[in-house]
């Protein structure tokens, strides 16, 4: 059951709230080694991952999600009652949910993420939109990837928008960051992974049955930003460049759609189901 309140709810000026607010910025997160998670689903996943240090909750949010407060108390997590304004100060959303957890940063070294015998990895190279990064992590989780590697100038996966877009998937699989994107490609190759760049002008067609054996083996899919794709160095270093054919008049696919198509083509190849060839056009 929810513990009875023994102190006045914290405000935006309460020292613990003020300290947590610094985690909204990347520099603050890296100094503290912690980040903020907002909302019931993400907090639930964080508690399941045993990654929560403190839970800030408003009275109304506690009333909506008593099971999460109880789970936090049972896990020995400090639960701090705060005002609506204090909760809003910890949020970067238009409509704060009144439920914010302070969690340990999740990323590990690339070598740790690829420990063992990795067979299916996603690499984000230079993706600056946190919503795209979070969505790619979510797709990678759904497709059964062993890890997500964030290379080059890819946005911090602990960014609030990225965490929300992942819907909790940041807690489900290893995440690793390395500013040297070319080195990440080489580490993947050294781990036995065939590196595939998703490229609209690639020499291989994703729907070509000849590509299926490659997809069925150990692979690392490399995804770049929507505007520029992977960096030239990564583009050159990868084993293959694979295109998703566009049969209509669309200029391109957005990153999340391309990621889902590429990753699930690998799932299909591993299941022995080749992607269906596109119908011939007159």
pLDDT at 197: 95
Alpha-carbon distances of 215 from 69, 135, 142, rounded to whole Å: 44, 22, 17
Tokens read off for 132? 């795209």
pLDDT tens by residue, 113-124: 999 888 999 999
Tens of pLDDT, residue by residue over 92-142, are 998 999 999 999 999 999 999 999 888 999 999 999 999 999 999 999 999
The percentage of the chain sitting over the pLDDT mark of 70, rounded to a whole number, equals 94
pLDDT tens digits for 235-257?
A: 999 999 999 988 898 888 899 99
Q: Is the pTM of this model over 0.85?
A: yes
Mean pLDDT of 207-229: 92
| pLDDT at 76 exceeding the cut of 70 | yes
Q: Which helix (H) or strand (E) holds 4?
A: none
Class of 110-270 per CATH? Answer: alpha beta
Domain 15-104 grouped into CATH 3.30.1330.30: yes
Contact at 8 Å (CB) between 90 and 18? no
Ranges of each domain in the chain? 15-104, 110-270
- Beta strand pairing status for 175-178 and 147-151? parallel
Percent of the chain with pLDDT over 90: 82
Strand order in the sheet with 99-104: 34-38, 99-104, 52-57, 78-81
């Amino acid at each position: 059951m929810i513990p009875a309140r023994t102190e006045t709810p914290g405000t935006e000026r309460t020292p613990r709230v003020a300290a947590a607010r610094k985690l909204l910025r990347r520099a603050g997160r890296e100094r503290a080694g912690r980040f903020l998670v907002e909302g019931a689903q993400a907090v639930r996943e964080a508690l399941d991952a045993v990654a929560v240090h403190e839970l800030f909750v408003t009275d109304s949010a506690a009333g909506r999600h008593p099971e999460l407060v109880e789970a936090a108390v049972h896990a020995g997590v400090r639960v701090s009652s705060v005002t609506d304004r204090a909760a809003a100060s910890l949020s970067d959303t238009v409509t704060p949910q009144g439920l914010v957890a302070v969690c340990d940063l999740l990323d590990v070294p690339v070598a740790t993420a690829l420990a063992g015998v990795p067979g299916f990895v996603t690499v984000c190279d230079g993706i600056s939109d946190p919503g795209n990064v979070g969505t790619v992590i979510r797709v990678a989780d759904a497709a059964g990837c062993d890890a997500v590697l964030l290379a080059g100038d890819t946005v911090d996966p602990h960014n609030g928008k990225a965490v929300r877009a992942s819907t909790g998937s940041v807690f489900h699989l290893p995440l690793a960051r390395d500013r040297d994107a070319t080195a990440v490609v080489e580490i993947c190759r050294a781990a036995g992974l065939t590196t595939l760049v998703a490229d609209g002008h690639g020499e291989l067609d994703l729907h070509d049955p000849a590509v299926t054996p490659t997809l069925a083996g150990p692979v690392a899919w490399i995804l770049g930003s929507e505007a520029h794709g992977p960096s030239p160095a990564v583009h050159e270093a990868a084993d293959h460049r694979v295109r998703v054919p566009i049969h209509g008049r669309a200029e391109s696919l957005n990153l999340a759609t391309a990621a889902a198509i590429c990753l699930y083509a690998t799932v299909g190849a591993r299941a022995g189901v080749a992607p269906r060839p596109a119908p011939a056009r007159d």
